[in-house]
Structure 1
Amino acid sequence: MRFHRLFLDSVVAAAALCSSALPLTTVAAPSAAGTNVAQARAQIPGVHRYRVGDFQVTALSDGTVPQDLHELLRGTSPAEVDKMLHHAFLSNPVEASITAFLIDTGSRLILVDTGAGGLFGPGHGGKLLGSLKVAGYEPEQIDDILLTHIHTDHSGGLVSEGNRVFPNATVHVGKPDLDFFLNPANQGGVNGYDKKYFEQAVKTVGPYMKAGKVQAFTRETQLFPGIKAIPTPGHTPGHAFYRVESRGNSITFIGDIVHVASVQFPKTAITIVYDVSPKDAAAQREAQFAAAASNRALVAAPHLPYPGIGHIRAEERGYTFVPVDYRDRHEP
């Protein structure tokens, strides 16, 4: 199995499954009955703000991509997947959000992940900078970037045409991911992962390494006041959570502990081909879901439906994700 190619193949297959839908840029012709059909229009850049004590968290959409879950999920069957999707009013392929999060502490601007950039091709991600601008920020203002892990849809936005998109930012990432993805010995691919993922890690994180702008951690680490890195290996060797606390409030950015809410919350043992260690990824998911549900913790994840902020509730079997209430009013 070739990791990078399988992702792209799944997107292509998913797009084919969705081919009956009108493209966003298409102007529909009148129907046979002579009635008019509304023109499909693109979404505006996604910006969602949430207050955590003295900090402000902004969910920034990098776009969405369709994923063929029949091809990507492991430890299940297409029939079981379709049954769970039907229960959630969905059908295969499922649209996956790609979301980055901006933390404004008042003294620092910190990004959690950077989306896919241009690495998935036109129409698949690459909207982060537009969302960031709409939110009122420029790339040069970002002080730090917290990578939950070095997969293309989290690190791709670091660069454009080989140049650092965030020239003043320091990248923080788990050292085991650096050792795995940037190891010269792994550049031909390893353990079923296509070499493209290793090559792209060099392209995205490499320029920051050369500029001395990467700081790695190997254990639970207090990066800044109120912001802690927590290693959670499994999905990748250096996968990490980031917990943010201010004035008794907290939010934890949980990265790719979950990809498909409608499937992996009810059945945590179902894995995805992107997992470096499926067994460890499933065990980590069960343990972290149980802890978050017990603590009533607020979490944020990049592939949950945008904005991906909410709570995890334990059910008689499995778990459910409960999104936070939407707010649109001034709060002093």
Structure 2
Amino acid sequence: MSISLSQWSRGALAVAVSAGWAVSAQAELPAQQQEQAPGWFRMMVGEYEVTALYDGHTAIDTSLLKGMEQEEILRHLDALFIDAESGMQTAVNAFLIHTGENLVLVDAGSAACFGPSLGQVESNLRASGYSPEDVDTVLMTHLHPDHVCGLANEEGEAVYPNAELRASQADADFWLDEERAAAAPEANQPFFTMAQDAVAPYQEADRFNPFTAGDEVLMGIVAQDTHGHTAGHSSFMLNSDDDAMLVWGDVVHSYGVQFADPTVAIEFDSDPEQAIRTRESVLESAVEDKHWIAGAHMPFPGIGHIVEDEEGYRWLPIEFGPVAVDE
């Protein structure tokens, strides 16, 4: 069989063009995309819509955990494929609750207080379909900066201009006391300053209203005493229809260690022994009552159930699914 020059040329050109397309396609491959999707997750608790809002993450050194040898801590973390060499990655979450009558934010995140890996509550709230102006109530689990700094912007203005701010009276008495702040060790004074600066615009607008443990802060939302981490640390129990959820703040910082052994405390606890008693009680109740848990430092979205296991307790995270199914 003979092939003419023109046939050969056309074939060679086709191969060349094909090869060129391949090279061109490879050259035009877009760069890897390093950003995540907006951090929000929505579910229903009875008639209440709960939206988890991701503030970001930080790393906690394992040496901050107290009551367990480092070797044992690393064993627990390694079993969950948690690489703790550069610190345990710890999420910071807030929770938005639409009751049908109120739009309630539990905790406000860290804003710019802890660097660029945090401070995303406001942007994720907007991404979830709401605006800060829609929020009518902000409930604080406690006044540590990773929960409170997001209340105010860099100009010292309220991020939630129409909201009443509520924190426990005990936490307010501690963190907002200027004499106590002045007497505190120098290393601790910035924590007082950040809390006072964040709360100030709400106080000035006469929209700061402390609560005490046991108060029904809004219909179906009851403040529970979970102190120990701070003097007035609180959690919020939601009840709607036959469903319930406890929104806790810093009851657990390291799920990889503190579920296995709830007697492990953390350096940030103001009263470690009380924090342990609180954690043991809260975990026991969560198992017995089978209610949902929403945790500020649980892996995002921070929502799940707790069950007992051989060593202690185990976290069962919620699965992604529809917000509600029409009957």
**Normalised by the shorter chain, which TM-score bucket?**
0.7 to 0.9
User: How far off its partner does 1:76 sit?
Assistant: 2.0
Equivalent of residue 307 in structure 1, options 281, 301, 317: 301
SS in 2 for 1:165: coil
Amino acid at match of 1:141: D
- After superposition, the C-alpha distances for 1:188-232 in whole angstroms (9 at most, x for unaligned) are 363796111001111111221221111112230111111111121
User: How far off its partner does 1:296 sit?
Assistant: 1.1
- After superposition, the C-alpha distances for 1:273-315 in whole angstroms (9 at most, x for unaligned) are 1111011101110111111111112110010000011111122
The correspondence of residues 177-216 of structure 1 with structure 2, limited to 5 A, is: 177-188=171-182, 190=184, 194-216=188-210
Equivalent of residue 77 in structure 1, options 48, 65, 69: 69
- What is aligned with 2:34? 41
Asked if 1:143 is matched to 2:136, the reply is yes
Structure 1 runs of 4+ with >4 Å offset: none
- What is aligned with 2:217? 223
- Flag the 1:160–1:55 CA change in 2: closer, same or farther, 3 A: same
Cα distance in 1 for residues equivalent to 2:173 and 2:323: 45
The correspondence of residues 5-44 of structure 1 with structure 2, limited to 5 A, is: 39-44=32-37
Amino acid at match of 1:234: G
The correspondence of residues 212-291 of structure 1 with structure 2, limited to 5 A, is: 212-291=206-285
Between Structure 1 and Structure 2, whose CA radius of gyration is higher? 2
Cα RMSD (Å): 1.7
Asked if 1:124 is matched to 2:127, the reply is no
- What is aligned with 1:174? 168
Contact in 1 for aligned 2:92/2:297 (Cα 8 Å): yes
- Flag the 1:329–1:294 CA change in 2: closer, same or farther, 3 A: closer
- Flag the 1:331–1:61 CA change in 2: closer, same or farther, 3 A: same
- What is aligned with 1:91? 83
User: How far off its partner does 1:329 sit?
Assistant: 6.5
Cα distance in 2 for residues equivalent to 1:111 and 1:193: 30
Asked if 1:163 is matched to 2:157, the reply is yes
Amino acid at match of 2:306: I
Contact in 1 for aligned 2:43/2:322 (Cα 8 Å): no
- What is aligned with 2:145? 152
Contact in 1 for aligned 2:42/2:323 (Cα 8 Å): no
Contact in 2 for aligned 1:67/1:96 (Cα 8 Å): yes
- What is aligned with 1:134? 127
Compare 183-192 and 290-299 and name the one that shifted more.
183-192
Asked if 1:298 is matched to 2:292, the reply is yes
Amino acid at match of 2:280: E
Indicate the percent of aligned positions where both proteins have the same amino acid. 35
- What is aligned with 2:50? 57
Cα distance in 2 for residues equivalent to 1:191 and 1:250: 41
Amino acid at match of 1:67: I
Contact in 1 for aligned 2:44/2:324 (Cα 8 Å): no
**Unmatched segments (≥5 aa) in structure 2:** 1-28
User: How far off its partner does 1:40 sit?
Assistant: 5.0
Contact in 2 for aligned 1:292/1:312 (Cα 8 Å): yes
Cα distance in 1 for residues equivalent to 2:73 and 2:207: 42
Cα distance in 2 for residues equivalent to 1:180 and 1:100: 22
Cα distance in 2 for residues equivalent to 1:269 and 1:37: 49
- After superposition, the C-alpha distances for 1:89-111 in whole angstroms (9 at most, x for unaligned) are 11212211111100011221100
SS in 1 for 2:43: strand
- What is aligned with 1:15? none
Cα distance in 2 for residues equivalent to 1:40 and 1:137: 26
**Unmatched segments (≥5 aa) in structure 1:** 1-35
SS in 1 for 2:311: coil
Contact in 2 for aligned 1:65/1:97 (Cα 8 Å): yes
SS in 2 for 1:187: helix
- After superposition, the C-alpha distances for 1:148-178 in whole angstroms (9 at most, x for unaligned) are 0001111110000211100110111110100
- What is aligned with 1:322? 316
